[in-house]
Amino acid sequence: MVNDIIKHIMRFILLVAAQGLILKNVEPGPFINPFLYVLFLMQLPFETPPWLVLIISFILGFFIDMFYGTMGMHMAACTFIGFARPRILKLMSPRDGYEFGSQPTIQDMGRPWFLTYAIIIILIHHFLLFYLEMFSFNYFFSTFFRVIVSSATTLVLVVVTQFLFYRTRQTT
């Protein structure tokens, strides 16, 4: 249990650092802004109490906002993910509930489940984020285009990261 907490804290730090120090400076294209850090919220265990997920989301958004200098933007998007996640998980739960001890990962839950889960969370997060950034529905379609393109990039990064973690876990 304590090991799990330390593991999650390490993951938190790694993802925030990767987002704030690396991905922030990578500009693969004009509309592409991947936000890999939402992976952290996806990977929290099923059993995490909803209020804790909410607080963690808020704090995660706060740290990302500090790196991006957009106080409140990521906080709002992440907090909404923290709010929506229990509902999404309930909607997507297997017929007899989640197996005890399983993690919301690609290796525990399988590709179709994980991809659906990831796409829903990433789309909600990015949608909120980019429209909060615009703070209006002017240029709705160009913003929507950004949401789609960035979400796809983030999804690819999330899946790649999953496989990387999966492999290291197998070998160790």
Partner 1 sequence: MRNLAVFLVRHYFILFFLLLEILSIYFLVQRNYFQHTSAVSAANWFTGSIYQARTDFTEYLDLKEQNKSLADKLALELSMKNTSYFMYNTAGVLHSDTTYKQRYEYLAAEVIDNTVTRRNNYIILNRGSKQGVVVDQGVVCAEGVVGIVREVSDNFCVVMSLLHSDSKISASLKKDGSFGTLVWDGNDYRTATLKDLPVTPIRKGDSLVSSGLGDAFPSGVPVGVINSFQINAENKTYIVEVKLATDYRKLRHAFIVKNLLRDEINDLKKKAGVDNGQ
Q: Does 28 bind partner 1 (CB under 8 A)?
A: no
User: Distance (Å, rounded) from C-alpha 58 to C-alpha 60?
Assistant: 5
Tokens 């607080």 locate to: 55
- Which of 41, 75, 124, 149 touches partner 1 (CB under 8 A)? 75
Residue number, 50 or 110, with CB nearest to partner 1: 50
Tokens 């999330």 locate to: 158
Residue 20: exposure state from Cβ atoms within 10 A (0-12, 13-18, ≥19)? middle
Q: Does 6 bind partner 1 (CB under 8 A)?
A: no
Between 94 and 133, how does the x/- string for binding to partner 1 read (CB under 8 A)?
Answer: --------------------------------------x-
In the DSSP assignment, the letter for residue 98 is P
In the DSSP assignment, the letter for residue 88 is H
> Which residues bind to partner 1, rule: CB under 8 A?
20-21, 50-51, 54-55, 58, 61, 65-67, 69-73, 75-76, 79-80, 82-83, 86, 132, 135
